[in-house]
Amino acid sequence: MTLMAQARAEREDLRDLLGTLSPEQWRAPSLCAGWSVRDVVAHVLSYEELSGRELAGRLARGRFTVDRSNAIGLRELSALTAAQLIGLLDEHLTPAGLTAGMGGRIALTDGMIHQQDIRRPLGLPRAIPSERLLPALRTALVAPTLLGALRVRGVRLVATDIDWTFGRGPELRGTGEAILMTVAGRGAALAELSGDGRERVARRLGP
Protein backbone atom coordinates (compact mmCIF):
# COMPACT_ATOMS: atom_id res chain seq x y z
CA MET A 1 0.00 0.00 0.00
CA THR A 2 1.38 3.43 -0.92
CA LEU A 3 1.85 6.14 1.69
CA MET A 4 -1.02 8.10 0.18
CA ALA A 5 -3.28 5.06 0.42
CA GLN A 6 -2.23 4.63 4.05
CA ALA A 7 -3.02 8.29 4.73
CA ARG A 8 -6.46 7.81 3.20
CA ALA A 9 -7.06 4.69 5.30
CA GLU A 10 -6.13 6.65 8.42
CA ARG A 11 -8.65 9.34 7.51
CA GLU A 12 -11.30 6.71 6.84
CA ASP A 13 -10.72 5.36 10.34
CA LEU A 14 -11.06 8.90 11.72
CA ARG A 15 -14.31 9.43 9.83
CA ASP A 16 -15.70 6.18 11.21
CA LEU A 17 -14.77 7.26 14.74
CA LEU A 18 -16.31 10.72 14.40
CA GLY A 19 -19.60 9.24 13.28
CA THR A 20 -19.93 7.50 16.65
CA LEU A 21 -19.23 10.51 18.89
CA SER A 22 -21.89 12.24 20.94
CA PRO A 23 -22.21 16.04 21.12
CA GLU A 24 -20.59 15.90 24.55
CA GLN A 25 -17.61 14.00 23.15
CA TRP A 26 -17.17 16.56 20.36
CA ARG A 27 -16.92 19.25 23.05
CA ALA A 28 -14.56 17.25 25.28
CA PRO A 29 -10.93 18.31 25.74
CA SER A 30 -8.33 16.65 23.53
CA LEU A 31 -4.65 16.08 24.30
CA CYS A 32 -3.89 19.34 22.47
CA ALA A 33 -3.83 22.07 25.10
CA GLY A 34 -6.86 24.33 24.80
CA TRP A 35 -8.40 22.37 21.92
CA SER A 36 -11.61 20.38 22.05
CA VAL A 37 -12.17 17.27 19.95
CA ARG A 38 -13.99 19.50 17.47
CA ASP A 39 -11.00 21.82 17.27
CA VAL A 40 -8.67 18.92 16.49
CA VAL A 41 -10.91 17.75 13.65
CA ALA A 42 -11.09 21.28 12.25
CA HIS A 43 -7.31 21.57 12.45
CA VAL A 44 -6.79 18.31 10.53
CA LEU A 45 -8.86 19.78 7.69
CA SER A 46 -7.78 23.40 7.91
CA TYR A 47 -5.02 23.22 5.30
CA GLU A 48 -6.76 20.98 2.76
CA GLU A 49 -8.27 23.55 0.43
CA LEU A 50 -5.48 26.13 0.40
CA SER A 51 -3.65 26.88 -2.81
CA GLY A 52 0.05 27.64 -2.61
CA ARG A 53 -0.70 31.36 -2.57
CA GLU A 54 -3.35 30.97 0.12
CA LEU A 55 -1.02 28.87 2.25
CA ALA A 56 1.68 31.53 1.98
CA GLY A 57 -0.88 34.16 2.97
CA ARG A 58 -1.95 32.24 6.05
CA LEU A 59 1.63 31.70 7.14
CA ALA A 60 2.33 35.41 6.67
CA ARG A 61 -0.73 36.36 8.73
CA GLY A 62 0.45 33.89 11.35
CA ARG A 63 3.88 35.58 11.38
CA PHE A 64 5.33 32.28 10.14
CA THR A 65 4.71 30.52 13.43
CA VAL A 66 2.89 27.19 13.61
CA ASP A 67 0.62 28.06 16.54
CA ARG A 68 -0.61 31.36 15.07
CA SER A 69 -1.15 29.85 11.62
CA ASN A 70 -3.09 26.95 13.13
CA ALA A 71 -5.25 29.38 15.11
CA ILE A 72 -6.16 31.20 11.89
CA GLY A 73 -7.25 27.91 10.35
CA LEU A 74 -9.46 27.12 13.33
CA ARG A 75 -11.14 30.52 13.13
CA GLU A 76 -11.87 30.04 9.43
CA LEU A 77 -13.69 26.77 10.15
CA SER A 78 -15.30 27.88 13.42
CA ALA A 79 -18.81 28.10 11.98
CA LEU A 80 -18.92 24.50 10.76
CA THR A 81 -20.99 21.99 12.72
CA ALA A 82 -19.78 18.51 13.56
CA ALA A 83 -21.82 17.11 10.68
CA GLN A 84 -20.32 19.64 8.29
CA LEU A 85 -16.80 18.79 9.43
CA ILE A 86 -17.49 15.11 8.79
CA GLY A 87 -18.79 16.08 5.35
CA LEU A 88 -15.62 18.07 4.67
CA LEU A 89 -13.55 15.09 5.76
CA ASP A 90 -15.52 12.88 3.36
CA GLU A 91 -14.54 15.27 0.56
CA HIS A 92 -10.86 15.04 1.51
CA LEU A 93 -10.29 11.43 2.45
CA THR A 94 -7.43 11.52 -0.03
CA PRO A 95 -5.14 14.29 1.26
CA ALA A 96 -4.71 17.44 -0.80
CA GLY A 97 -2.70 20.63 -0.53
CA LEU A 98 -0.11 20.86 2.22
CA THR A 99 -1.01 17.54 3.83
CA ALA A 100 -0.34 15.68 0.60
CA GLY A 101 3.33 16.61 0.92
CA MET A 102 6.07 14.00 1.21
CA GLY A 103 3.93 11.55 -0.72
CA GLY A 104 1.26 11.55 1.97
CA ARG A 105 3.61 11.23 4.95
CA ILE A 106 2.41 14.55 6.40
CA ALA A 107 -1.25 13.56 6.33
CA LEU A 108 -0.55 10.05 7.63
CA THR A 109 1.55 11.21 10.56
CA ASP A 110 -0.48 14.30 11.44
CA GLY A 111 -3.75 12.40 11.10
CA MET A 112 -2.55 9.50 13.24
CA ILE A 113 -1.26 11.71 16.04
CA HIS A 114 -4.42 13.80 16.07
CA GLN A 115 -6.70 10.79 16.00
CA GLN A 116 -4.92 9.61 19.14
CA ASP A 117 -5.27 13.14 20.58
CA ILE A 118 -9.00 12.47 20.33
CA ARG A 119 -9.12 8.81 21.31
CA ARG A 120 -6.91 8.87 24.38
CA PRO A 121 -8.90 11.40 26.47
CA LEU A 122 -12.17 9.74 25.40
CA GLY A 123 -10.92 6.30 26.42
CA LEU A 124 -11.32 4.88 22.92
CA PRO A 125 -8.11 2.93 22.18
CA ARG A 126 -7.43 1.13 18.92
CA ALA A 127 -4.84 -1.12 17.33
CA ILE A 128 -2.99 0.88 14.65
CA PRO A 129 -1.84 -1.26 11.72
CA SER A 130 1.94 -1.62 11.86
CA GLU A 131 2.31 -0.75 8.17
CA ARG A 132 0.93 2.71 8.98
CA LEU A 133 2.62 3.13 12.34
CA LEU A 134 6.16 2.50 11.07
CA PRO A 135 6.28 5.38 8.53
CA ALA A 136 4.54 7.67 11.02
CA LEU A 137 7.21 6.97 13.63
CA ARG A 138 9.97 7.75 11.15
CA THR A 139 8.28 10.93 9.93
CA ALA A 140 7.53 12.25 13.44
CA LEU A 141 11.24 12.23 14.20
CA VAL A 142 12.14 14.56 11.34
CA ALA A 143 8.99 16.55 10.46
CA PRO A 144 9.78 20.30 10.70
CA THR A 145 6.70 21.04 12.81
CA LEU A 146 7.44 18.23 15.29
CA LEU A 147 11.23 17.82 15.43
CA GLY A 148 10.65 14.77 17.55
CA ALA A 149 14.27 13.65 17.33
CA LEU A 150 15.23 16.57 19.60
CA ARG A 151 12.93 15.30 22.35
CA VAL A 152 14.43 11.83 22.31
CA ARG A 153 18.08 12.58 21.49
CA GLY A 154 20.51 10.43 23.43
CA VAL A 155 17.85 7.78 24.04
CA ARG A 156 17.26 4.43 22.35
CA LEU A 157 13.58 3.95 21.49
CA VAL A 158 12.41 0.34 21.47
CA ALA A 159 8.90 -0.58 20.36
CA THR A 160 7.65 -3.68 22.13
CA ASP A 161 4.80 -4.55 19.77
CA ILE A 162 6.41 -3.93 16.36
CA ASP A 163 9.89 -4.40 14.94
CA TRP A 164 11.27 -0.85 15.33
CA THR A 165 14.08 0.85 17.21
CA PHE A 166 15.76 4.23 16.95
CA GLY A 167 18.71 6.00 18.50
CA ARG A 168 21.42 5.24 21.01
CA GLY A 169 21.61 5.57 24.76
CA PRO A 170 19.49 4.45 27.69
CA GLU A 171 16.37 2.66 26.51
CA LEU A 172 12.82 3.93 26.43
CA ARG A 173 10.48 1.02 25.80
CA GLY A 174 6.77 0.65 25.07
CA THR A 175 4.18 0.31 22.36
CA GLY A 176 4.80 1.99 19.03
CA GLU A 177 1.75 4.18 19.56
CA ALA A 178 2.93 5.41 22.96
CA ILE A 179 6.38 6.11 21.52
CA LEU A 180 4.85 8.04 18.61
CA MET A 181 2.80 10.20 20.93
CA THR A 182 5.80 10.84 23.18
CA VAL A 183 7.94 11.81 20.19
CA ALA A 184 5.12 14.21 19.25
CA GLY A 185 5.35 15.84 22.68
CA ARG A 186 2.37 14.25 24.40
CA GLY A 187 3.46 13.75 27.98
CA ALA A 188 0.40 11.64 28.77
CA ALA A 189 1.89 8.79 26.72
CA LEU A 190 5.26 8.91 28.46
CA ALA A 191 3.71 7.35 31.58
CA GLU A 192 3.16 4.17 29.55
CA LEU A 193 6.85 3.85 28.66
CA SER A 194 9.64 2.37 30.76
CA GLY A 195 13.42 2.28 30.86
CA ASP A 196 16.37 4.34 31.97
CA GLY A 197 15.76 6.90 29.22
CA ARG A 198 12.37 7.89 30.57
CA GLU A 199 13.58 10.56 33.00
CA ARG A 200 15.69 12.23 30.33
CA VAL A 201 12.72 12.58 27.97
CA ALA A 202 10.42 13.65 30.81
CA ARG A 203 12.67 16.63 31.56
CA ARG A 204 12.42 17.76 27.95
CA LEU A 205 8.65 17.41 27.80
CA GLY A 206 8.20 19.46 30.97
CA PRO A 207 5.23 19.30 33.33
Q: How is the chain split into domains, by residue range?
A: 3-122, 130-205
pLDDT in tens, 41-60: 999 998 887 666 766 667 67
Report, as ranges of residue numbers, the positions in the chain whose pLDDT lies below 50. none
At 64 the pLDDT is 65
Give CATH for domain 130-205. 3.30.1050
pLDDT of residue 96: 87
Pairing of strands 165-166, 171-174: unpaired
Cβ atoms of residues 117 and 12 within 8 Å: no
| Residues whose CB is less than 8 angstroms from the CB of residue 21 and which lie 6 or more positions away in sequence, other chains included | 37, 82, 122
